[in-house]
Amino acid sequence: MTTKRTQIWQIPRGSYDTDGDLARNPKIRKAAAIIKQGGLVAFPTETVYGLGADGLAEKAVASIFAAKGRPSDNPLILHIAELSVLDQLVGSVPQSAKHLMELFWPGPLTLVLPKLPAVPMITTGGLPSVAVRMPNHPIASALIKAAGTPLAAPSANTSGRPSPTRAEHVVSDLMGKIDVILDGGPTGLGVESTVLDCTGPTPKILRPGGVDKEALEDALGTCVQLSAELGKEIGSFPSHKYGHYAPNAPTAVVLGEPQGLFENLAAKAQELTCKGEQVGLMISRETMQYWQDQAVDFSHWQVVVMGSRTNLAEVGTAVYEGLRTLDAHHVTQILLESVPTQGLGFAIMNRLLKAADFWTVGE
């Protein structure tokens, strides 16, 4: 692959008030022109940064897979900014999916629907269905509208690395491999969209994310399934097809309930230290408080505090960055604190377990 001169263009939050301001923004217009010519542009969404290309142009989509080092059978999400575009992309849309669009779009919900021929097979990894979402971020919407085409956009990380929640993360993974990085500051949610398969009789969650199962069930008034893989996640061995979100050091998720969990984290870290490991931990504020109260000596561990166990939205924004921080400190063993699996916690635990390749300790 030839090296590209990646340009980084800042579009700070305070630099625009209205969608019109962004539509006129020369950086958005130039980035859109690059997309129309088949180029690659990373842009912020409300979940994580995406790596966008013209989703209907085979060559452009092929270059996304190359830049990320992504297996070609792992399908991409098409990002749209207006509902009217859907007619060209998907066939029959069930009433339930229409209802979810009304309620959750723009937002972190991706719907998998039967694809129409205009969507190239390379975009869907050879599948007869296509994943579509309408991101809730002014820069993303302005870019999609200016490009005048749906953007195929996976998370803008190297395949297998933690997803990027800041432009800096995209820089560290994809510099020299893509044309432009639109830096719109940190993303809001921090975990990716929920992927919901709407091609069968009952909607099925393929990936938990920003919209939780309970919210989908409330909206539809029926139950929503979990994919077979998600149903048996905790305590299982790697069953997933693609490596994901993984830090470089071996990683384990420590299970349990407070305070046993807080104690277990310290005990496990101590045990590893005695074996000569450089230990990195990602823990809650509650664990940190407990350690301070109990005078636990954590001075020789690399500790990232991911937020409070009672505020999972805060934890969501911190998880991927925390994994990257621990990596940057070259620890040899990482321990991650488990979180309650209600609401957004289910998606967060899913990411923690994948980072650990489903290796758990405790309980």
Residues 38-77 that bind ligand TXA (CB under 6 A): 45, 47-48, 50, 74-77
Nearer to ligand TXA, 115 or 268 (CB): 115
The Cα 21–Cα 326 span in angstroms is 38
Nearer to ligand TXA, 27 or 79 (CB): 79
Q: What is the smallest separation between the CB atom of 50 and ligand TXA, expressed in angstroms?
A: 3
The contacts of residue 116 (CB under 8 Å, 6+ apart) are 88, 89, 90, 91
- In this structure, the strands spanning 225-226 and 77-79 are unpaired
Interaction partner, residue 170 (ligand TXA, Mg ion, none; CB < 5-8 Å by kind): none
247: burial class by Cβ within 10 Å (0-12, 13-18, 19+)? buried
- Give, in order, the Cα–Cα distances in Å from 176 to each of 33, 55, 139, 166, 238: 19, 21, 22, 17, 32
The 8-class DSSP code of residue 145 comes to H
- The contact mask relative to ligand TXA for 187-206 (x = CB under 6 A, - = no) is -----xx-x----------x
Nearer to Mg ion, 245 or 291 (CB): 245
Q: What's the distance, CA 73 to chain centroid?
A: 18
Interaction partner, residue 267 (ligand TXA, Mg ion, none; CB < 5-8 Å by kind): none
Q: What is the smallest separation between the CB atom of 159 and Mg ion, expressed in angstroms?
A: 8
First to last CA, the chain: 47
Q: What is the smallest separation between the CB atom of 102 and ligand TXA, expressed in angstroms?
A: 19
Using the rule CB under 5 A, which residue among 63, 96, 155, 287 binds Mg ion? 155
Tokens of 231: 């149903």
- Give, in order, the Cα–Cα distances in Å from 185 to each of 12, 13, 93: 7, 7, 35
124 binds ligand TXA (CB under 6 A): yes
Nearer to ligand TXA, 58 or 257 (CB): 58
Nearer to ligand TXA, 20 or 160 (CB): 160
For binding to ligand TXA (CB under 6 A), which residues are involved?
Answer: 45, 47-48, 50, 74-77, 108, 110, 112, 124, 127, 129-131, 135, 153-155, 192-193, 195, 206-207
